[in-house]
Each structure stands twice: as structure tokens, then as C-alpha cells.
Structure 1
Amino acid sequence: VLVTCQDVGQCIKVCLPCAPHRADNRFGEQRALAPFCPAPPYLSPPNTHLFAWLLKHAFIGESYEAGPVVARMSRCWSLLVLLAVAVSGTREDKITYQGAQLLRINITSEEEQDIVRALEDSDDVEAWNGLAANSTSVDVLVLPENKDKVKESLVSSNLTYDVLIQDMEAAIQEENPMPSDEEIAELEGRKGHRMTWQSYHRMQDVHGYLDWLAQSYPKLCSVQTIGNSVEGRPLKVLKISSDKAGSPAIWVDGGIHAREWISPATVTYIINELTENRHTHGDAVQNVDWYILPIVNPDGYEYTHRTDRLWRKNRSNGNSGGRCAGVDLNRNFAYKWGGAGSSHQPCKEIYAGSSGFSEPETSAVSNFVLSKKDQIKAYVTFHSYGQYILYPWGYDRVVPPDYKDLDRVARKAAQAMYKAGGSTYTVGSAATTLYAASGGSDDWAKGSAKIKYTYTIELRDRGYHGFVLPSNYIVPTASEGLAAIKVFAQEVQALK
């Protein structure tokens, strides 16, 4: 257990199967041990609720007649209590961004672009949206210890800047007000799941929702685990079936970058609309098979909730500590891997990994999509932020032969998004419109899997909140994402 489990929740699941059906407890009741093992909270340590749960249930075996099975149960639970104590003693402290600021540096010349590039390379700032093509500004996160130095450097270089977020930690604390335990319990009892789209939810809620859909709509929905993350978390894909042979399919994913919380929230909102409100969206969405992976990077996503809200990469080599852990999964796909816009230095945010598909998350996506490549006609991956609809290529400022058709459909989607929520989305090829990014999933889907319509959608906003988009923006943003998805559904059905 100690060797194979990645967190206490998984260790508990190892022990639960050892609860056999056993009669004749000391009260003379005919019942199984299993009912005495309630489902544990699947939360990563440190977790005081989990520790209390373990203390409550650890020695349940002592209530039964002595025997080898009971002894195993008792030892199993005792081990978990010791494990919980050990984990709580070796926890990672939650990173605070108190005093950190988000600056928007204004750029008016190529000379000023060069100054900003040098600043990014110095590691005194972290670029949030990169130095985009033809950009007039760049957003950078500045930690408190670098704040005075960076501002003095900007002033001495005659660069102006605006402070978008005065205190990053305050913004993080205000981003995601959670309902009370009582409200969540009431919701779960009424609806059967915990999803609200009024808050950003943990992985367990998202996966629980997918499982609930599969149980509630077995003819429409099914769940498949296509692989596991570095730390052993499942990569769960929901299939929403058209129930028609030969239907085209669309792949949708989110959460490849851990800190982009609006992405999984948008994808799960789309799932909700394509299932529980299916008949309100027309025939187009019903005549397509959907394969949807809400969280490509579950380890990183959970890490943003429990340790570092602004973490980007996966958690490969997590024990190396600090920013040198992890791989940027959207630089790890094996089409034009390792080129412009990626890094071979592990401590960089855009570290591409040791090779294409070195990470289990990207490898799992590749294997699954390739197994369906003759059916999948559109590949849509949601990110944030900036409000862009981007098509290949991202590895260089060139375009595929059918770029005019890709552009036409993207502009149609942008119009639909504007009508749905009022946000303006910029359309264009990725490297030309934004910046070069080799090893991206969209380039791989187009270049290797040969999928016709391939898009990256960078959701809201344009920088005033950046990655820390308050949860009251979930529904407006996700409604725009749904509008784009409906356009893609129409287009794939028009293909000959």
C-alpha cells in the first residue's frame, strides 16, 4: 500500500476490497463487513477531515469475532491511520501570493519588445500571456521580492505599465467562494451530483458527475478511463452517443494547463447542456458522437487546489520540488516537438519533456484519439485566457492547405460566441495570431491524426483577471464555449 498509493484516498480504495461478506458478528446479526466501510472523502492530503474519518473507522474489525479476515482488516485500517499521520507530517505548505502583482507592460516598438523578452528571460517575472504577434502589451506576474526591481527597470527603460491585479493572493481568495457543506449535501441529495457551475469544482466532483451521467443515462452516456496520470489519477472520457451508426465524432478536452480553471468548468457545462438539456440545442448536437475529457491534467489541477493556485504543468518528477517539476503537456505532443515556443529546460513553464509523448497524459490522449481518428472530424481544446479561436499551425507562422476553411468555421464560431455572451474572440492561425508553440495538441491532431477541424479556444478574459477568473464568470464564459461547439457540430455533419 505504501509503495503503490499516490494519496490516502487511493490507499483506502486498496483496503476496501478486503472487506468480505462475513456473517455472525458479536450481536448475532447476519451482515457484511463492507457496510461498515463508508466511502472515504477522496481528497489529497493534508486533510483533517480524512484523518478524522480514518480514526473513526480504523479499528472497525475489533467489533467482530476474531479471525484471520478480521485481523487483516484491523491491520489494514491501522496502516492507514499511520499513513495519514505520516502524510500530515510531510505536507507541502500552500503557496501564498500575498503582495504579488499582475502587471500589463505596454509596448510600442520592436526595441521595447526586446527589452520585455530580456525581462522574461531573467526570471524576475513570469509571462502570463506571452509576447504575442503584433502585441501592444504583455501581462507578467511579479512576486513581492522582485516588484521594486522590475518596476524600476521598466521606468528606466521608459516602458509604461498598468497594475491589473494589486494583490494576487486577495484575488485568489475572492475567486471561488464555495457553498457550505450543508448546501452541497442538499444539492447532492436533490440532483445526485455536486456540480453547480457557480463554483470551480475539484476533480472528485467532476469525475463523480461523469459517473452519475453514465448511471442516469446509460443509453446516452458512457465513461471510459483511457489512462492514468503520473500520480495515478484516472483520465476519464465521457462518450455522449448519437445512437446512430456512422455518425461523425467530435473530441473536446479541457484542463491541460492546471491553473486554467475556467477550462474544465466550461467543458463540464457543455457536457451538462449536451446531456440534461440535449433537446434544446437542435439536431446538430444530437447527430454527433462526443468524446469529452474535462481534465487532461488531473495531478496539476489538484495541485492548484491544494498547494499552488498558479501551477501550469503536470506533476512529473514532483519530488524535485519547486518550479523544476512537471512538463507542459501542451508542448509534449509529438508533432514538431521541441521547436519554437517550447523549452528543453525543466525549470521553464514551457518545458516540453524529455521527448514527444514522454508523459502518460499526452500518450493516453494520443492513443485514444488515434483509435477513433476515422470517426473524429473535429478536435477542440479549451484554454485560457485572451479570447482567441486558433487553428494550426502553432509550430511556425505557416498555415495548412485548408486554412481558408478552418478560418471560415472559426469566424462563424466567433460570431456565435459573441451572440451568446457578448465577448469578442480573435481568429487566426496560432503562431501568426498569438505566438509559436511547438508540440501542441492542436497541431498534432491536424498533422498526425489528420483531423479536419482542429481548434484551440482561449476563453475569457483579456487579462483583468487572467487565470484567476472569478467563478461568477463561469456560466457566461461557458455559454460562449457551447455556442462554438454547436457550430463545429453543424460543420462536421456537412462534410462529405
Structure 2
Amino acid sequence: MFRITLLFILSLVALSLANQDDYTGYKVYKIVPKNEDELKTIQTLIKHPQVDVWTSSKLIGHPTVFMVPPTLENQLKSLLRVNNMPYDTLIEDVQRTIINEKNEQAEARRIFDDRSGRISFKQYERFDTISGYLRNLTNLHPNLVKLVNIGKSYEGRDLEVLKISSGGNGNKPAIFVDGGIHAREWISPATVLYIINRLVENYSQNSALTDNIDWYILPVINPDGYEYTHTKFRLWRKTRSPNGLSCVGTDANRNFDFHWKEIGASSDPCDETFAGLKAFSEKETAALSNFALSIKKNVKLYLTFHSYGQYILYPWGWTSALPNDVDELDALGRKANAVSGYKYTVGSSTNVLYAAAGGSDDWFKGVAGVNLSYTIELPGGGSAGFDLPPSRIEEVVQDTYKMVKVFASYIDKKFVNNK
């Protein structure tokens, strides 16, 4: 039987990583559970308000990676020692890792900076550059793309969806793609931008994916948080709207109005998984949902990109029960995984990863009626997982695009060629 020490329980104080800007002395650990008891110990451990979970799983043999402050180091090691659980220290000092990543990004920008309005995929782009790129595409390819403003973020940044369509009077099946809902997951917007790049700038080679299908693509749902990770706090996860007396931000992927805050979400405004003061409290999630509902009759597939962990997840996140069409969801996920050079785990969110209500994938399926709805947790890299080096961006986005083509071909076959 697993044991949780009294010392560890007493340390559950109302502190948070949410406003942390200096991670000196913070460490990152990895634990790979060997049995059910160790899984239970880990599930208790990661509920601590000062434990920042970077990737986790409910499966034996799959790693959980988390960051802890110096004040918890002794308690954590005591807990693991009592339960005879081995662990690896992945990062001895998180602040040093952040500084190293900043230097790598600066060097990549120095070498590959392009003022022509293009994207190089040799560096992580800032939000203004991303917006400029989308506008540039509308000028260069006016018959193929259209930029749709669906609202503004809390800090006033434009939320813009790029519609890619080669015609069809709006009657074609559509795919909705988004990224950047969690601010620190930089490889997510980069991946979504690569999908745009292939479909638009390489149209002649990828026309089979756009002739019969319309695409709606939002590269960065959470631009305020994304910019904050570039300018202030690298590991920021949430939005930037005020939500209490002292804390800022809501976990946008707990804010959707489908079984909102039922499980796997926090009521504490300082918590990383704070669900918001109400469902759709965030301008970003409200704008996304309103736009999605306006086009829902055509959308047949939803793909949202996160990092990291290498999972292809389908609903539900609010319950361990499986959707009625689980066989189709699972088979398509595994078919996409088969073309990837990485090994992804395929399954329902709750049963493979953890329960988390209020996510966008559940909402798209449960409310917008998009039956084929997936969250793709991309590969991590570097020493922190979130700090995939700029030199590996192309490797990951190119591999992911192989999977996207499988998803798109399935939609073409099911909703066009089978008619």
C-alpha cells in the first residue's frame, strides 16, 4: 500500500507557481510507475498546489514529469523514499535551463531572421510575426485564403482564423485546427503554422488536401499568454485576464462550457488549472466557441495541438466512459500514429492521461457536434520538455504533418468520395 507522509500533507499550503518569475533552484523530476500503488502515489503527489505537472499518464510504465520549488525538495524525496520509488532528476536548476533556451532562441533569430514576411521554422516566432505572416498570405494568395477576425484577446490582440478554401460555395466538409491554448507550449503554434505553410505556400503539392476540404486554422488561441512567455515568464500556462485579488489568468483548456469544472480543474484563481470564474469567462475561448458554432454544420474534424508527451487523445476528458463512436476515433488515431516517426499513445483523455473537464476537444464533440475531435500532445525536447530546441522544430512539424494528411484523407474519403 502506498503511503503519503504527514509532513507532505501538512505542506499543502495555499501557494502557487502562477506568479513565479525566477526559477532558481527549481528542479524537474521524472517518475515511471511500475505498479498500481506507485500510480496512486504519483496521482496524490501531483495534486499538490506547488507541483507543476509537465506531462503525466495514468498508465503503468509511462512517465510523469513535474517541477517543484526548493521548499518542497526534502518533503518530495522523503515521500519517494518512504514508498521505495526511484526517480530521475531531469533538471537541477530550471532557471539555468530557461536562460540557455533564451540564448538558443536569440542565436537562431540572429541567423535566420527574415524580414520578408515568411516563416523559417528555424526559430519560435513572436505573435506579431505570426499575424504578419497570415496577412502576407492573404495578399499573396487571395483566391485561396481569407483571414477572419473572430474577436480580441483580453489585452486587445486580434484573434484571426485563416480560412483555406479553393472554392465550393461553403458546402465542402471542413477541418478546424488550433494551437497555443497553453502559452508555454511553443511547438504547438509552430506546428499549426507549418500546416498552413504546406497547404498554402506549397499548394501545388498539397492540393489534394484542399480541393475537397475547407480548413479553418487558428495558430495561437492564447496570444497574451504566448507573448508573456517570450517577454516575462517562460513557463506561464494560462491566459492573462485578472481572476482574483492577487492572481492572473485562467487555464483556457478548462474554460469551455461542457461539464465545466466537474473534474480535473481548480476553483483556486492561483492554480495552473483554474477553470475561470465561469464557463467562457475568457474572451479567447468565447470567441473561438462562437465562431466554431457558426460553421459547425461543415466541420467534420477538430485537431488541437499541445505539448508535450506524445499522445493522440480523443474524448472524453470529463468521464472515463467512452463515446459511442470510440472504435472510429481509436482506429483513425492509430492510423495517423502509424505514419509518425514517434511513438504516440492513442486513447481517451481520461483513461490514458487524466480527467480534465472543460477542454476544447470535449466541447467540440459534445456541443459543436464534431464527432472526430482530437488533442495531439506533441513530442517534447531539450532538458525541460517545453524547450524543444529551435534546431528540432522542422523535425517535429514535418513528422506531425504526415499525421495531419492521414486525418485529412480520411475526411475526404468519408464525406466526399463515398457520396
Match of 2:293, SS state, is helix
Contact 2:315 2:374 in 1 (8 A): yes
Give the corresponding residue for 2:373: 454
Q: Distance in 2 between matches of 1:381 and 1:288?
A: 18
Alignment of 1:231-310 (within 5 A): 231-245=155-169, 246-310=171-235
Q: TM-score of the superposition, structure 1-length normalised?
A: 0.75
Alignment deviations for residues 436-481 of structure 1 (CA, whole Å, 9 cap, x no partner): 1111101111111111311110000389542222122211111122
CA-CA distance at 1:282 after TM superposition? 5.0
Secondary structure of the structure 2 residue equivalent to 1:196: coil
SS in 1 for 2:95: helix
Structure 1 unaligned residues grouped into runs of 5+: 1-92
Alignment partner, residue 408 of structure 2:
489
In the TM superposition, residue 117 of structure 1 has moved relative to its aligned partner by 3.5
Alignment equivalent of 1:218, drawn from 132, 138, 142? 142
- Per-residue deviation, residues 146-194 of structure 1 (Å, max 9, x unmatched): 3334223322332211012233223223334235877566x21xxx215
- Provide closer, same or farther for how the CA distance between residues 306 and 182 of structure 1 changes in structure 2, counting only shifts above 3 A: closer
Matches within 5 A, 1:350-361: 350-361=273-284
Name the SS of the counterpart of 1:112 in structure 2: helix
Distance in 1 of aligned mates of 2:359 and 2:295: 19
Counterparts of residues 60-79 of structure 1 (less than 5 Å): none
Change (3 A) 1:386 1:462: farther
In structure 1, the partner of 2:15 is none
> Is contact 2:249–2:269 with CA below 8 Å preserved after alignment?
yes
Distance in 2, Cα, partners of 1:436 & 1:319: 25
Q: Is the 8 A contact 1:278 1:286 kept in 2?
A: no
CA RMSD of the aligned region, Å? 2.2
Larger radius of gyration between Structure 1 and Structure 2 = 1
| Secondary structure of 1:209's aligned partner | helix
What SS does the aligned partner of 1:495 have? Answer: helix
**Amino acid in the other structure paired with 1:162:** D
Please tell me whether the aligned partners of residues 151 and 159 of structure 2 are also in contact (alpha carbons under 8 angstroms): yes
- Match status 1:132 vs 2:58: yes
The amino acid that maps onto 1:148 is N
Cα distance in 2 for partners of 1:280, 1:202 equals 28
The 1:135/1:181 distance shift into structure 2, 3 A limit, reads closer
Distance (Å, rounded) in 2 between the aligned partners of 1:213 and 1:440 = 30
Distance 1:131 1:184 in 2: 37
User: Which structure is higher in helix share?
Assistant: 1
The equivalent position to 2:84 in structure 1, one of 119, 136, 158, is 158
Does the 8 Å CA contact 2:335/2:406 hold for their aligned counterparts?
A: yes
State the 1:331 CA deviation: 0.7
1:269 Cα shift? 1.2
Pick aligned residue for 1:101 from 2, 24, 27: 27
| Equivalent pair of 1:241/1:288 in contact (CA under 8 Å) | yes
Q: Which has the higher contact order (CA 8 A, sep 6+)?
A: 2
Aligned match of 1:209 in 108, 130, 133? 133
SS at match of 1:128: strand
Deviation for aligned residue 1:217: 1.0
Match of 1:436 in 2: 355
Secondary structure of the structure 1 residue equivalent to 2:97: helix
Q: Percent identity?
A: 44
8 Å CA contact 1:94–1:307 kept in 2: the answer is: no
Aligned to 1:178: 106
Is residue 195 from structure 1 mapped to residue 114 from structure 2 by the alignment?
no
The alignment partner of 1:121 has SS state of coil
Partner of 2:45: 119
Residues of 2 paired with 1:463 and 1:399: CA distance? 35
The secondary structure found in structure 1 opposite 2:364 is: helix
Q: Write the distance in 1 (CA, Å) between the matches of 2:87 and 2:389.
A: 23
Q: CA separation in 1, counterparts of 2:45 and 2:323?
A: 34
Could you give the per-residue CA deviations for residues 319-347 of structure 1, whole angstroms, max 9, x where no partner exists?
A: 844xx321111111111111121122212
Cα distance in 2 for residues equivalent to 1:339 and 1:100: 31
Deviation of 1:287 after TM superposition, in Å, equals: 2.5
How many angstroms apart in 1 are the aligned matches of 2:83 and 2:112?
A: 52
User: Which residue does the alignment assign to 1:90?
Assistant: none
Could you tell me whether the CA contact under 8 Å between 1:139 and 1:463 is conserved in 2?
A: no
Letter in 2 for 1:393: W
Cα distance in 2 for residues equivalent to 1:463 and 1:391: 27
Q: Is the 8 A contact 1:385 1:463 kept in 2?
A: no
Tell me the alpha carbon deviations over residues 298-328 of structure 1, each in whole angstroms, 9 at most, x when there is no partner.
Answer: 111111111111111111207844xx32111
Change over 3 Å in CA distance of 1:462–1:194 after alignment to 2: closer
Residue correspondence of structure 1 range 304-319 to structure 2 within 5 A: 304-317=229-242
Instruction: Report the secondary structure of 2:193's partner residue.
Output: helix
Query: How do 1:339-488 and structure 2 match up within 5 A?
Result: 339-416=262-339, 418=340, 422-461=341-380, 465-488=384-407
Aligned residues: 394
Amino acid at match of 1:383: H
The 3-state SS of whatever aligns with 1:389 is: strand
Letter in 2 for 1:484: M
Tell me if 1:227 matches 2:151: yes
Contact kept? 2:109, 2:123, Cα under 8 Å: no
